[in-house]
Amino acid sequence: MASSDSTATVHCSIVSAEQEIFSDQVEMVVATGTIGELGIFPGHTPLLTGVKPGPVRLKLVGGEEEVFFASGGFIEVQPTSITILADTALRANDIDEAAAAAAQNKAEQELADNRSDIDFGRVQADIQETAAMLRTIRKFRK
């Protein structure tokens, strides 16, 4: 698929559990899947992988970059479309850094309390997700 300026593009959709966050043509997507960091261009071989918490970078038509945070879910790649179905998906600029840091501190405190009624797997996942969210906004926020 090509846009009017003959730059190769692919349709990208980013959808969270609550809503569609992004839907438009892009030149490239960089995301972290369970198989590692993926650079996805138009015409990519079909692929299905899980989403690891981290940034999703979109190179928009015209060269600008837009950054999102995604966690959980799947990335489906087809030659003419990329769909990211994420449990959590946010624009990096919309993330409240103070709230994310507070959530990370709360989860770390839960883990440190070492109570028998704590779901350690959930708490560790919360810590990993908030740490990835903080890394994303600190690295990519404009």
**CATH code, domain with 84:** 2.60.15.10
In this predicted structure, what is the pLDDT of residue 10? 97
Task: Work out the angle between the directed axes of helices 120-140 and 97-113 (0-180°, nearest 10).
Answer: 150
73 and 27 inside one domain: yes
Residue 4 is assigned to a structural domain of this protein: no
Domain that holds residue 129: 95-140
Note the pTM of the prediction, 2 decimals. 0.80
Residue 29 is assigned to a structural domain of this protein: yes
In this predicted structure, what is the pLDDT of residue 6? 52
63 and 105 inside one domain: no
79 and 116 inside one domain: no
- CB crowding 39-53: b at 16 or more within 10 Å, else e: ebebebeeeebebbb
Q: How many domains does the chain have?
A: 2
| Interatomic CA distance for residues 92 and 111, integer angstroms | 27
49 and 107 inside one domain: no
In this predicted structure, what is the pLDDT of residue 4? 46
Residue 2 is assigned to a structural domain of this protein: no
Average pLDDT per 10 consecutive residues for the chain, totaling 142 residues: 63 95 98 94 96 95 94 95 96 86 84 78 82 83 63
| Interatomic CA distance for residues 11 and 76, integer angstroms | 12
88 and 132 inside one domain: no
